[in-house]
Amino acid sequence: MKYRKEKFVIDDKECIGYITDGAKYLLIQPVDEHDIEVLDNEVAEIQKNTEKQFSLIAFKIEDWNNELSPWEAPPAFGNKSFGSGTKDTLEFIESRLIPMVKEKYNLDDEIIFILGGYSLAGLFSLWSAYKSNTFSGIVAASPSVWFNGWEEFMNNNTPLSNTIYLSLGDTEEKTKNKVMSKVGDNIRNQEQLLKNDNINTILEWNKGGHFSNSDLRVAKAFIWCIENV
């Protein structure tokens, strides 16, 4: 499967497209500098493991702690607190990115949208599952479900996406940081709640900590969603 790699800008946001003609799936991923460095590898890994035609659009997040945070929260580490920018980021995807990409690449109206990301971008994708029915699949790879207030949110809301992938590194919860050590319990609860809501879901445990092989973890997650939506 051949793709064209193209860079373009939508509303001052730097976008990177891996475009396949006749794609049946459009993968959408908020990324930071590190993600961009390993995107080629991620896309190659997805291609290697599915025969289904997909395109991927990544867009760069400039202010990670604001643009991907569902609400304001105190710092979990360091001194940078969290903002509440997810509404704007979701609106950008739905009202700007998707229409422009559909027009630019003449995408089929039946194309299936899968939103996904790693870490706080994984939490953003998970939050979007509760706020939008645009996405048939959601990739939450090592999502920041330790986030202050997330437990209450997931207990009191029902997702609108019906296929959701969860993963975590098997040593992520083994941290002295009290806030972040909740990540293991919270992701187990998240999986159970999704199953209770009859969501098609899986929780995969990857070897290692939070910073191991993010490209391969995200690739594996997108592959699962492509095959399961």
Closest CA to 139 of 18, 214, 221: 221
76 or 109, greater pLDDT: 109
Backbone angles phi, psi at 137, to 5 degrees: -130, 150
Residue-wise pLDDT for 25-55, tens only, equals 999 999 999 999 999 999 999 999 999 999 9
pTM of the model: 0.96
Sign of dihedral through CA atoms 182, 126, 58, 61?
A: negative
Residue-wise pLDDT for 183-225, tens only, equals 888 999 999 999 999 999 999 999 877 777 899 999 999 999 9
- Residue 177, pLDDT score: 66
| DSSP calls for 153-198 | HHHS---S-SEEEEEEETTTT--S-TTGGGHHHHHHHHHHHHHHTT
165-180: average pLDDT: 80
- The answer to whether residues 80 and 73 touch, using CB atoms and an 8 Å cutoff, is no
Give CA–CA dist 145/185, Å, rounded: 9
Q: How many domains does the chain have?
A: 1
Query: Mean pLDDT for the chain?
Result: 94
Domain that holds residue 16: 4-228
Q: Count H helices and E strands in the chain, helices first.
A: 8, 8
CATH assignment of the domain containing 135: 3.40.50.1820
